[in-house]
Every structure is written in C-alpha cells, then in structure tokens.
Structure 1
Amino acid sequence: MRLGITMFATDRTMPPHELAVAAEERGFASLYLPEHTHIPVARTTPPPTGADTLPEEYARTLDPLVALAAAAVPTRTLTLGTGVLLAAQREPLVTAKAVATLDRISGGRVVLGVGYGWNREEAADHGVDWPLRRARVREAVLAMRELWTRDEAVFEGEYASFAPSWSWPKPAGPVPVLLGGAPGPTLFAHVAEYGDGWMPIGGAGVREALPALRAACEAAGRPMARVVPFGTVPTHAKLEYYAGLGVDEVVLRVPGGGRDEVLPVLDRYAAEHLGR
C-alpha cells in the first residue's frame, strides 16, 4: 500500500519543494496540499475542525498548484496532488491550463483532489451561491476534462461554457480526479459520474460506505472507484484495516511547521510504516 503525506503548507512552514524532496527520499509516494484563497475575517461558518477558533494556517495557505510546481522540479517519482482544490471557486479555463502545465512539468504525476468547500463566506466572495456549489464543481471538472482531452474543446453548461476552442498543453496523461467529502448518495453519484475516486477526510466510516459507493459505480457502468483515506494519523492497526478493505493509498497527516518540526515526524512515519 502506498503512503503519502499532506501538510498545510504556508509562508511559515517548511517550503514545499524541500518537503517534497524529504518525502521522496524517505519512500513516501505522494504529497497533497490544500487550498484556501482567503479567509474572511467576519464569519458565521464554524471551523471544520470543531474548535472554537480557526487555526491561522487556513489564512496563510499557499496556492497549491504553484507550490506543487515547485515540488515537481526536484522530485522524480512523487505523486503531486491537491487535497483539496476548491473547484467551485475557480475559473475552469484558467485552472485547466494550470493543471495541464503542472502535469507536463512533472511528467504526468498530478492527481486532482477536488472538494466542495466548507466556508460559506469564502465561497460567497467568489460569487458562489452555496446551495449550487456542487453543481458548479461538477461543471468545472467536466469542462476541464474537455479541455484536457479534446483538440477542439467545447462546453455548454449553466456555470461554465466556452465555444469550440484550442487549448494546449494537454496533460502528459489522464489526470485522476478524487472527490473529497462525507459519504452519501449525492457524493457517490458524483464520484461515479465524473470522478476516479473518493477521498474520505480522516477516513472514518469507510467500511460501511463501500457497498453504496460500489453500487453507484455499477449503476453508472464503471469499475469500483479508488478510495484514498486522507489526513490520517497512522497506526499499524489502522493501515492494516485499510489494506484489508482493498485501499491502495493512504495520505498521512503531517503537522504544519518548519524543518525541525516536520522531519522528525517524517522519519518516524517512515521507520514505523515504511521500514526505512
């Protein structure tokens, strides 16, 4: 089973290119970085962590695609993922170009983790009507896939549209899309329609959700989607549990910090779970 890492990369943490090199050297398979464009000071949306105060790292998050481009240059095998990209808040023509460029630069190592967001105020500043965010994400991903795969791409949707267009570069290969979120009929219908996998945040409830995900994929005439538990704090028992469910990759949570805080965690994870 592949093990990756995720960290809230900010202007105060270990730089992403250094983190990527350290991860690859220790045998980790992937690096995923999150996204927030900004955090409105006045907010009624409660923090997703359940804490009273939102951690400062949310407001200091690096742009994930720029940070992953820096991580691509000094690495050779590391999968470079977003965990998660907030597609409803992005213009798909520009984002498709950025993702395709990153995939070209990295030699086809990009995985696009996509989420629907939790911060109503952040989404509102991007003109996103909160109840419609899932529909916007769907169209954004479908529109980007058109641009990635068609020499002459066209898309007509309610939230994204463009006339027949040329857009290069194309990605080096297919860009897998993993959808993050809590299990349920709506999410699994989206995974089956336009995703390649499910990224359960924290990984709770995976076993109970698998039959519903499998049924959604079968109804869509597709093979079973990948399941990539994300932001996991690892134990031997937990990783064995995931392996027994057929999970082929788990993304481990690394605390945001400088080299002195991050490298000992990477060393411990590698020693305990990768035999390094």
Structure 2
Amino acid sequence: MRIAVTAALTDETITPIGLAQELEERGFHGLYVPEHTHIPVERATPFPYADERGEVARWYGRLIDPFVALSQAAAVTSRLHLGIGVLLLAQHDPIVVAKQAASLDHVSGGRFTLGVGYGWNREEAADHGVAWSSRRELVLDRMRLMRALWADEPTEYKGVFGSVSASFAHPKPVRGGAPRTMLGGAAGPKLFSHIVEYGDGWLPLNGSGLRETLPVLRTAWEDAGRDPAALQVVPYAVTPTPERMDTFAELGIEEVVMLMPAEEGDGMLRALDGFARYLD
C-alpha cells in the first residue's frame, strides 16, 4: 500500500522543501497540502473540526499557497507525488487554475494530483463572490472549462458560469486530458456523479464508512461505462491504526494519505517516525 501524508504547511512549520526531502528520503509515496486563501475573523459558519473551545485551528489562516509549496517540493524531489487536498475551485479563476495545474504537472514530470473540494467556510467563499448554494454546480462548470483548455486541440466551452474560446493553452497535463483529479466531500449521489464525470476517484475524509459507500460509488462508476479497475479511492487525512489499515487493505485500497499534526519545529518529523511502521 502506498503511504502519503497531508501536512498544513505554514509560515510557522517546516518548509515545503524540508518536508518533501524528508518524505522522499524515508520512502513515502506523496505529499498533499490543503488550501484556504484566508479565514474571516467574524463568521457564522460552525467550524466542522473544532477543538475543545470550538475555535478554528490557527494554521487555517496561515497556509502557504499550495501551488507555490508544491512547486518547491517538485524542484527538490524526483519520485515524490504531489497533491492539493483540496483546492477550493469555486474560489478561483478556472483559466488560471488550468494553467497552474498543467504547469505543475509538467515541471514535476506528471507527479501532480489535483484534489478538488467545495469548502466549509461560507464567509471565505462569500469574499470570493461565491453563492454557497450553487458552489457544487460552479465547480462542475469550472472543471468542464478547464478540461477544454487541457484538450489536445483548441476547444471552445460555453458554460452556465463561465466560457472560454478555442485557445492555444500549453503545457498540457503529462498524461493527456487532465492531471490526476480526485474529489473530496461527503458520500452522496451528487458527489459521485461528479466523480464519475470528470474524476479519477474520491478522497473520503479519514476513510470512514467505506464498507457502505464504496460499493455505491463502484456501481455508479461502472454504470457510467468507466473501467472498474481505473477507480481510485484514497482515504484522506487518516489517523492510522493497524486495524484501520487492515480494513483498507481488505477493501482493495492502494493508497492512504495520513494526517500530520500542524506543529512547529520537529513535530512533523516525529510524526513521520510514527508513520514509518506502515511503509512497505
């Protein structure tokens, strides 16, 4: 089983370069980093991962831009896979993201994974002009536009939320069509329909409930005529235990992304020491 980690890299943690080099040297498969542009101080949105005081973790407002962090990591590694877990695509210009994603995939030699998500912070989204109730449809529209830019030939796209004329847009994703694209979010018909349309698979948070939800996704995938062997399900931000990892293996999971603590100094490296037991 391939073992990757997700780390909240900030201005107070180990650098992207330092962590990426440590991961590659220790034999880890990949590094995923989260994204938030900012966290408004005044908010009404309940924080879904609150500490005992109900407060947003400090690191949420201090994250390094994921494309910048992963570009640094790509430059000092040759095998480590690099992913965003997840990009809040509704909050971005899709033409710019298409260029950033294809460029990072190109300079890393095809090691990039674009994780796409919908977010939890209404105030953050509102500052970007996003209507909360339509954010899923907005993300779908933006992915369709981006895939038009990634197409081999200049391709026009006219969508509900955005359009692009047939354009020259290079570099292209290394594998053609799109970089590896994984969706985050809670299980449900809408999420699964979007995975089936444009994704390579799912990033289920902590991998909870997969015995019940994985068969549903597999059925939707196969009903759409997609190759059953191509579906990738990668439990994300997992706090590992031997029992949980055994369950993932039984379900045919081939990659797991473990959650690193957002700590200063050597805290992240100590976490890697603990994860090492799960490396093949």
What TM bracket, shorter-length normalisation? over 0.9
Structure 2 equivalent of residue 9 of structure 1: 9
Task: Give the C-alpha shift of residue 259 in structure 1.
Answer: 4.0
Q: Does 1:20 align with 2:20?
A: yes
Residues 97-246 of structure 1 aligned to structure 2 (within 5 Å): 97-174=99-176, 175-224=179-228, 225-246=231-252
Indicate the percent of aligned positions where both proteins have the same amino acid: 50
Contact 1:152/1:164, CA 8 A, preserved across alignment = yes
Displaced runs of 4 or more, over 3 A: none
Structure 2 equivalent of residue 48 of structure 1: 48
Contact 2:117/2:185, CA 8 A, preserved across alignment = yes
Q: Secondary structure at the match of 1:238?
A: helix
Q: Secondary structure at the match of 2:146?
A: helix
The answer to which of 45-54 and 107-116 deviates more is 45-54
Q: Which amino acid aligns with 2:158?
A: E
Residues 15-94 of structure 1 aligned to structure 2 (within 5 Å): 15-51=15-51, 52-94=54-96
Q: Return the alpha-carbon distance in structure 2 between the equivalents of residues 75 and 27 of structure 1.
A: 12
Q: Which amino acid aligns with 2:100?
A: A
Q: Which amino acid aligns with 2:132?
A: W
Q: Secondary structure at the match of 1:231?
A: coil
Q: Does 1:258 align with 2:264?
A: yes
Q: What TM-score do the two structures reach when normalised by structure 1? A: 0.96
Q: Does 1:247 align with 2:249?
A: no
Q: Return the alpha-carbon distance in structure 2 between the equivalents of residues 74 and 239 of structure 1.
A: 30
Contact 1:31/1:81, CA 8 A, preserved across alignment = yes
Q: What TM-score do the two structures reach when normalised by structure 2? A: 0.95
Q: Secondary structure at the match of 1:132?
A: helix
Q: Which amino acid aligns with 2:180?
A: P
Q: Return the alpha-carbon distance in structure 1 between the equivalents of residues 194 and 202 of structure 2.
A: 10
Q: Which amino acid aligns with 2:17?
A: H
Q: Return the alpha-carbon distance in structure 1 between the equivalents of residues 279 and 219 of structure 2.
A: 33
